C-alpha cells in the first residue's frame, strides 16, 4: 500500500455497510488523522473519510483520536504560556454580531488569561471574530513570543488555526467543495492547543453538546462548559434558557441557565453587521440591554466555569457588576 492509499483501511472500516461497518477506535482515528496531517493521503480519500464520518455521526472516541493527532502536529511554540480559558471560535460565517468578543474582553480585563483560536471566516456581510478583535487592538499572533506578549499586555490573545496547525486549517477549505462542514470543525473546537485548565465551547446543534462533553472527558479536560451558542459560537442567547454541559474538576454535569429579563427581544440577525456597534457598546456610545445581556450571560457561564462564582445567580450578578464597572478605554 502506498502512502496515498493510507486511508483505505479506515474508509473500509467505516463504509462496509450496515452489518460490517463500525466507528473507528481512538487509536485508529489518531492514525488516520496523522496520515492526513502529514500529507500521506490522497484528497479523494480525505473527502471520503470525512464524509463517511459526517454521515454516520462522529463519535467521541474518533474526535479524541483526531485531537491526539492534531496536538502532535501543532507548530512549535516553545514553552506554552499559562492560559486560564481556551476559547475556540470556528463559525466560518457569522450571521450575527459576535458579542461574545466583548465577553472575552471583559473577562480579560478582570484577570482571566484567554487564548482564542479559529479560522478567518468569510462573507462580505459578516463581522468575523478577527475583525471584532482587531477593532480593539487584538490582532492575530504569529508566534510564541507574540502570543506571550499579547497575554502579558492584555490577558487575551488570538491565534489563527493556519498558524497553529496549517494542514488542519486546510481541511476547512473542503466545505465549499463538499457542501457540508466536516468533523474538522468539531476537532478544532476540542483542540485546546495551550492546555488551558478551562474551556468554553459553543456548538451549532444541541446533540453536539453531549458529543463534545464526552470528547472532553476522554481528553481529560479538567473543566469545561459546552452549550448551543449563537451561530455555533460560545455566546448565550439571553432571550432563551440555556442548557450547559459541564465538567468540573473532571466530573461531568449539566446546568440549566434561565433566560435573562433584559434579553427579551434579542434579535441578533436583525442588527446591522457593523463592527462599530461592538466598540460603541463597550465604550458606552449607546445602550442595548439585550446585547449587554448576551455579553453578561456569557461572562456568567465563564465565571462559574472558572470557579469565580459559587452559583448561577451570583455569577450573573458578578458579570453585570463587571460590565457596569468596566474601563471603557482599556482596549482603545
3-34 tens-digit pLDDT: 668 999 999 999 998 889 999 999 999 999 99
- Predicted confidence band of residue 1 (pLDDT cuts 50, 70, 90): very low
**184 located within any domain:** yes
Same domain, yes or no: 52 and 172: no
Closest listed residue to residue 201, CA positions, set 136, 192, 155, 258: 192
Same domain, yes or no: 188 and 294: yes
Q: CA distances (Å), 114 to each of 22, 64, 223, in order?
A: 38, 23, 14
Handedness of CA 312, 317, 320, 326 (dihedral sign): negative
Range(s) of the domain holding residue 251 = 85-324
Query: What element of type H or E holds 282?
Result: helix 275-282
Q: CA distances (Å), 164 to each of 74, 169, 173, 190, in order?
A: 6, 8, 16, 14
Cell 467543495, residue located: 177
Same domain, yes or no: 34 and 168: no
Phi, psi angles (nearest 5°) of residue 93 = -150, 105
Closest listed residue to residue 206, CA positions, set 179, 245, 240: 245
Closest listed residue to residue 52, CA positions, set 5, 20, 13, 15: 15
Phi, psi angles (nearest 5°) of residue 308 = -95, 0
Same domain, yes or no: 195 and 224: yes
**pLDDT digit string, tens, across residues 228-239:** 998 889 999 999
Distance from C-alpha of 294 to C-alpha of 63, rounded to nearest angstrom? 30
Distance from C-alpha of 323 to C-alpha of 327, rounded to nearest angstrom? 9
Same domain, yes or no: 48 and 96: no
Q: Where are the strands (E) in 124-222, listed by range?
A: 156-160, 198-203
Q: Model's pTM, two decimal places?
A: 0.94
Q: CA distances (Å), 71 to each of 209, 232, 235, in order?
A: 22, 23, 26
Same domain, yes or no: 94 and 214: yes
Same domain, yes or no: 17 and 156: no
Same domain, yes or no: 99 and 27: no
Distance from C-alpha of 160 to C-alpha of 58, rounded to nearest angstrom? 24
Strand-pair partners of 254: 245
Distance from C-alpha of 122 to C-alpha of 93, rounded to nearest angstrom? 5
Does the structure show a pLDDT above 60 at 173? yes
Output the domain CATH number for residue 63: 1.20.970.10
Lowest mean per-residue pLDDT among 98-112, 160-174, 256-270, 274-288 = 256-270
**pLDDT digit string, tens, across residues 102-159:** 999 999 999 999 999 999 876 555 789 999 999 999 999 987 778 888 999 999 999 9
Same domain, yes or no: 149 and 210: yes
Same domain, yes or no: 127 and 183: yes
Amino acid at each position: 500500500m502506498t502512502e496515498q492509499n493510507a486511508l483505505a483501511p479506515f474508509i473500509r472500516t467505516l463504509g462496509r455497510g450496515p452489518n460490517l461497518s463500525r466507528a473507528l477506535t481512538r487509536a485508529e482515528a489518531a492514525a488516520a488523522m496523522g496520515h492526513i496531517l502529514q500529507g500521506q493521503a490522497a484528497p479523494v480519500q480525505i473527502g471520503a473519510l470525512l464524509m463517511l464520518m459526517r454521515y454516520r455521526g462522529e463519535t467521541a472516541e474518533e474526535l479524541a483520536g483526531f485531537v491526539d493527532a492534531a496536538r502532535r502536529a501543532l507548530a512549535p511554540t516553545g514553552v506554552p504560556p499559562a492560559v486560564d480559558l481556551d476559547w475556540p471560535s470556528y463559525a466560518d460565517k457569522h450571521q450575527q454580531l459576535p458579542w461574545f468578543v466583548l465577553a472575552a474582553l471583559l473577562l480579560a480585563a478582570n484577570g482571566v488569561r484567554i487564548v482564542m483560536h479559529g479560522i478567518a471566516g468569510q462573507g462580505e456581510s459578516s463581522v468575523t471574530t478577527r475583525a471584532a478583535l482587531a477593532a480593539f487592538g487584538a490582532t492575530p499572533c504569529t508566534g510564541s513570543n507574540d502570543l506571550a506578549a499579547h497575554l502579558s499586555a492584555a490577558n487575551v490573545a488570538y491565534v489563527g488555526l493556519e498558524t497553529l496547525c496549517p494542514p488542519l486549517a486546510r481541511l476547512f477549505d473542503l466545505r465549499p467543495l463538499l457542501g457540508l462542514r466536516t468533523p474538522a470543525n468539531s476537532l478544532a473546537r476540542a483542540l485546546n492547543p495551550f492546555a488551558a485548565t478551562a474551556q468554553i465551547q459553543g456548538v451549532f446543534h444541541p446533540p453536539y453538546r453531549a458529543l463534545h462533553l464526552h470528547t472532553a472527558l476522554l481528553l481529560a479536560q479538567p473543566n469545561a462548559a459546552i452549550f448551543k451558542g449563537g451561530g455555533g459560537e460560545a455566546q448565550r442567547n439571553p432571550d432563551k434558557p440555556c442548557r450547559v454541559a459541564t465538567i468540573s474538576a473532571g466530573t461531568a454535569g449539566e446546568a440549566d441557565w434561565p433566560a435573562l429579563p433584559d434579553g427579551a427581544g434579542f434579535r441578533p440577525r436583525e442588527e446591522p453587521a457593523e463592527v462599530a456597534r461592538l466598540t460603541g457598546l463597550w465604550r458606552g456610545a449607546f445602550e442595548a440591554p439585550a446585547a449587554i445581556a448576551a455579553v453578561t450571560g456569557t461572562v456568567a457561564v465563564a465565571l462559574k466555569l472558572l470557579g469565580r462564582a459559587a452559583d448561577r445567580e451570583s455569577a450573573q450578578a458578578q458579570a453585570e457588576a463587571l460590565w457596569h464597572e468596566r474601563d471603557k478605554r482599556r482596549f482603545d
